[in-house]
Amino acid sequence: MSLMVRINLIVAAALAAVGLILSYVCWNVMQTNARRTVLDEASLMMDSALATRTYTSTEIVPLLESRMRTEFLPQSVPFYAATNPRDRATDWEADVIQQFRDVPGTRQIVGQRETAMGSALYLAKPIRAEAECLLCHASAATAPATLLARYGSDNGFGWQANEVVGAHIVSVPLRDATAKAAVTLHRILAAIILSMLCLLLLINAAIYLLIVRPIHRIVAVADELSVGNASAAAFDSRGTREFAALVRAFERLRMSLSKAMQLLEPGE
């Protein structure tokens, strides 16, 4: 196996290892960025829902107070405009709500779950029973008659002040963000591979010019001397300092052989 082939194998293996490490690092970074982007989108949607809730409390409820004496209007509930009033917590949402109840100081939960559409990232914040909530949900006995007439007295009562009664949950698919990250990664990998190929070519050119070609010159002259051609051209001293030292050593050897041959000639 030639020197060039061995060096190319070693360099190619090293570049492949570096490429794999870079690919792993880049993919992790892009996955993190994709999650951050999705989480930012979820935060914006969450803030929009909370702003709508605040608007309902401060602007809509006062306009409906007179009608509320004779009819319960769901539009008076702040969460009516912020969430779907027909939604009930699914199993995984109930687990999130339970996490808030188990750790009272938790302000938000970020998690990932698998759906029929692929992985999704969710952001959740607790819904706590505030003073205005207890006007309707403390007990059926104190709830407005119009609310009982609409929804009955079986569910939604017994809330305690500051108790976690639900959660704002925004779930955003990761598929699009992950796909964009994959496209970006492929472009980066293509650039890395192209750069490595250029580097390999540059290394090969440098090895040939600095090592292989000078060796070939030395070998050519040494071959001439080995067959007794005393008039062979001088060793080429061009090249690196190390090759120049090698050439000087060969020249000394050549001179020594020439003198030895001259001393042997009279005896013959």
Give the chain's mean pLDDT.
81
On whether the CB atoms of residues 228 and 260 are closer than 8 A, the answer is no
In this prediction, residue 82 has a pLDDT band, given cuts at 50, 70 and 90, of very low
| pTM of the predicted protein model | 0.59
Give percent of the chain above pLDDT 90: 5
Quick check: 179 pLDDT over 60?
A: yes
What would the mean pLDDT of 71-99 be, rounded to a whole number?
Answer: 72
How far apart are the C-alpha atoms of 143 and 157, rounded to whole Å? 9
How far apart are the C-alpha atoms of 125 and 120, rounded to whole Å? 17
Indicate the residue type of 195.
Answer: S
Quick check: 64 pLDDT over 80?
A: no
Please list the residues that pair with 126 across neighbouring strands: 167
- Looking at residue 235, its pLDDT comes to 72
Quick check: 105 pLDDT over 50?
A: yes
Higher pLDDT, 136 or 108: 108
In this prediction, residue 194 has a pLDDT band, given cuts at 50, 70 and 90, of very high
Q: Which of 187, 164, 183 is nearest to 175 (CA)?
A: 183
Higher pLDDT, 125 or 154: 125
